[in-house]
Amino acid sequence: MKVAKKTRWGIPALVFVLALGVGLVLAGCSLDPGSDGWSDVTSLNQLNGVWQGSFSQTMPMSQWFESLGYVWDASFQEFYGNMNVRSSLELSVTINSGTRMMTGVGRETAVFSGGNINSVWPSLRNEFVRMGATVNDSNRSATFTQSINESVSLSDFEGTQINRNGNQIRFPAVLGGFPSNDYFVLTKQ
């Protein structure tokens, strides 16, 4: 998929790397390429309908930082300790091939734990609130919700595949802007 021009998500259609400050790590389940007879999407008509999916991944704070392009050094290690980040994404979109529109909502949540979270959370919390996130102090999480209202073309779905039954689509997951070996899968409702 190509980079979007209009949304603050940075990538249209279904890649949805949410660079809303949390820099969610997208990673789905590894799939056997031949298991469901996957083939490239060749028409927007194949995508017509409502698609939903979700996934999550937990990683060390150091890996999360590096996936965002930062260099993790001794000062970060001292400040954050051995913290973990559990990133998750829930996505529901409707693709109307006739009007060439995609609408829906995505919700990204990052939950922080371990390490120096007790001392670090107040500053993280303030930063996430400043960025427009909903924060939950009891589980130390920040959630961003983004409405989707995009015009789309077939080229926006480059790299997207559909299974032989037409009820699932997949596209390469992206880890902090860098491709991974996994796929994000959406199921037709």
Per-residue pLDDT of 130-150, as tens digits, reads 999 999 999 999 999 999 999
Structure tokens at 74: 């001794």
Would you say residue 166 has pLDDT above 90?
yes
b/e sequence 66-79, b meaning 16+ C-beta within 10 Å:
bbeeeeeeeebeee
Report the pLDDT averaged over residues 56-70: 85
What pLDDT, on a 0 to 100 scale, did the predictor assign at position 184? 82
Nearest-angstrom CA–CA distance, 42 and 35: 20
Nearest-angstrom CA–CA distance, 73 and 95: 43
Q: Which residue has the higher pLDDT, 75 or 22?
A: 75
Asked if 27 contacts 175 with a C-beta cutoff of 8 angstroms, the reply is yes
Q: What are phi and psi of 78, to 5 degrees?
A: -65, -40
Would you say residue 45 has pLDDT above 90?
yes
- Under DSSP, the state recorded for 31 is -
Structure tokens at 25: 């790590």
Q: How confident is the model at residue 1 (pLDDT cuts 50, 70, 90)?
A: very low
Q: What are phi and psi of 45, to 5 degrees?
A: -60, -30
Looking at the chain, how many residues does it have? 189
Q: How confident is the model at residue 183 (pLDDT cuts 50, 70, 90)?
A: confident
CA 141 and chain centroid, separation:
16
Asked if 88 contacts 109 with a C-beta cutoff of 8 angstroms, the reply is yes
103-134: per-residue pLDDT in tens? 999 999 999 999 999 999 999 999 999 999 99
